[in-house]
Amino acid sequence: MAKQSRKHAEALAKVDRSRFYSPDEAIVLAKETSYVKFDATVEAHVRLGIDVRHADQQVRSTVVLPAGTGRAVRVAVFAQGDKAAEALAAGADKVGAEDLAKEIEGGTIDFDVAVATPDMMGVVGRLGRILGPRGLMPNARTGSVTADVNRVIREIKAGRVEFRADRQGLLHVPIGKVSFSEDALKDNLRALVAAVLAAKPSGAKGTYVRTVTLASTMGPGVHVDVAAAQALV
């Protein structure tokens, strides 16, 4: 633990906590301050000027990261008949209907994203208490309840991620890996900022995007100049 603490202190020393960096500088620092032995994830943490207690201030959407996420995403699809065949052809890792539901009820959840065709929601609905707390419940608002399973599965595999504001109005979204090039991380950050701005709820008042911070897994947060981040779009 002492060795890890020393490395963390060294990483912290590289970041001026009172400064707001340009996106380019922040990306370089997020990469440089990663001290873990694995290929760490780079996350964007966005604080929004919203009150999630109000229905008209909810922020939930998706973004397709042009450079991908850097990790393999396992997709489960609730579908039957031709749609099941379509899902398998598109690269779904598992496809089923009642059988898949029973598997989940039995405790087997070996996927990262769930997609369902509209006619399957009667089956999926009873899994809400299991999938909901894990953030795996298919949802029409984020496009995971759809008849166009081919497009959605391909987008997910290519780097589509869902984001949702937590109780504090914060978004925590992966934008790639430390091994990514600076340009790739910048492209992904640009796509995320555009998606967040597009998802601005009708009830939001005042400053919508309050802070943007980049950090690698276990690394220190690097504050990004909000105006410069929004200027990427």
What residue spans in the chain does CATH classification 3.40.50.790 cover?
75-157
The radius of gyration computed from the CA coordinates of the chain, to the nearest angstrom, equals: 19
pLDDT, position 141: 85
Q: Give start-end residues of each CATH 3.30.190.20 domain in the chain.
A: 18-69+160-230
pLDDT score at 232: 97
Q: Identify the pLDDT of residue 8.
A: 82
The pLDDT of residue 2: 45
Domain 75-157 is found in CATH 3.40.50.790:
yes
Long-range contacts of 101-107 (CB under 8 A, 24+ apart): 101/126, 101/127, 104/130, 104/131, 105/130
CB proximity list for 96: less than 8 A, separation 6 or greater = 76, 77, 78, 84, 103
Strands (E), the chain: 41-48, 60-64, 75-78, 94-96, 113-116, 160-164, 170-177, 209-216, 222-224
Tokens 């790739």 correspond to 184
What are the average pLDDT values for consecutive 10-residue runs of the chain, which has 233 residues? 70 91 97 93 97 93 94 95 97 96 95 96 95 92 93 93 93 96 98 97 94 95 97 96
Which candidate, 82, 118, 120, 119, places its Cα nearest to that of 99? 120
Closest CA to 199 of 60, 65, 51, 46: 60
Place of tokens 């298919």: 138
Question: How far is Cα 30 from Cα 15, in angstroms, rounded to an integer?
Answer: 9
pTM for the model: 0.84
* pLDDT tens string 151-161: 999 999 999 99
Write down the CATH number for the domain with range 18-69+160-230.
Answer: 3.30.190.20
The span from the CA of 59 to the CA of 199, in Å, is 6
